[in-house]
Structure 1
Amino acid sequence: MMNMPHPTSSSTATPAHDFPAHIKHQLDKATALCAQQGARMTAQRRDVLGLILMHERPVGAYDLLEELKTAERRPAPPTVYRALDFLLEHGLIHRIERLSAFIPCTNLRHCSHTHEHSEACLHTAQFLICRNCKTVTEIADTTVLETLKHICKNENFVIQSTSVEVEGLCAHCASK
């Protein structure tokens, strides 16, 4: 990944990172999703999302902070956390609580169409976390969600978000 000069720290500045074409495509989709929701994808938010998309495994906020630093720009932790909050709020990334790290939303990474992140789909994924290699697989099993909805309805509990994290060994690590 190559860093390009960043002329200003303004939120309307050009992103500081030059991402590969497939990442740029995902960033363009994310920018369009934000526009549909009436939100603005700033250069800082775009850089943070791009770095998350570049990682094969979950990435922590301070790792992102280090990767964002250039000779011309040294963002502070609150800047990165604000960008992460925005990306979480708009369903573009997920926080893996167990690892205190972030991954891109599978729909953003894999959908070939514009996926509308409605309130119903923002936080319905389940995560399979490998204890050995730390890979995270996002699944969206609707039966899990429907079961949770049913239980919550019986308890007169209103779901605002869900996060199901299952720890174990991925197929690769289990076969060793």
Structure 2
Amino acid sequence: MKKLFFLIICTLFIVPTIANAHTALTSSNPADGQVVTKELTELVLTYAGEIESLSTMKLLKDEQEVPLNVELQEKQMIGTLSTPLENGSYVIVWSIAGEDGHLITGEIPFTVQLEQMVEQEHLNETKESITTDKEDSKAENQEKSGQTNDQNNKQSSESIKVIISVLVVIVLGIGTFLLFGRKK
């Protein structure tokens, strides 16, 4: 009786574990959390056991589905892309039906950060920075030019005031001379 009880307990706890072990995800390319630095046109999910035709794989970027051709090959699900992935954050959402009929799902987040694209983005940022610097410099020059014009205008205004003052003094001097010169 004890042996029968032991067999029943073992069966209840071990069989579901074995069934799930046969269909568990064993590896993926790209791996969970991986930063991919080379062009990626194929996603490969490998499972411990053979997967059934009801299995699916989706690729999402910013919650939008990226077109993907999915093919099942015994223990692998392979997703082929028509063009390499661009820089950004992605999530592979998969669902498999194992030999035992259990439905298992999972997600694999990863990031694409291509070296070439990073260098290009750096160049674009540098160009934007140079353009901004040129615009800032131009604005500064215009401001300085405006200040120079203001200074020139002030100097001209002051020069005109001095000339007018000198002319007024001369006119008053001539007027005084003529006024007193006639009295004699």
Task: Give the TM-score band, short-chain normalised.
Answer: under 0.3
TM value normalised by structure 2: 0.21
Structure number with the higher strand fraction is 2
Structure showing the higher helix proportion among its residues? 2
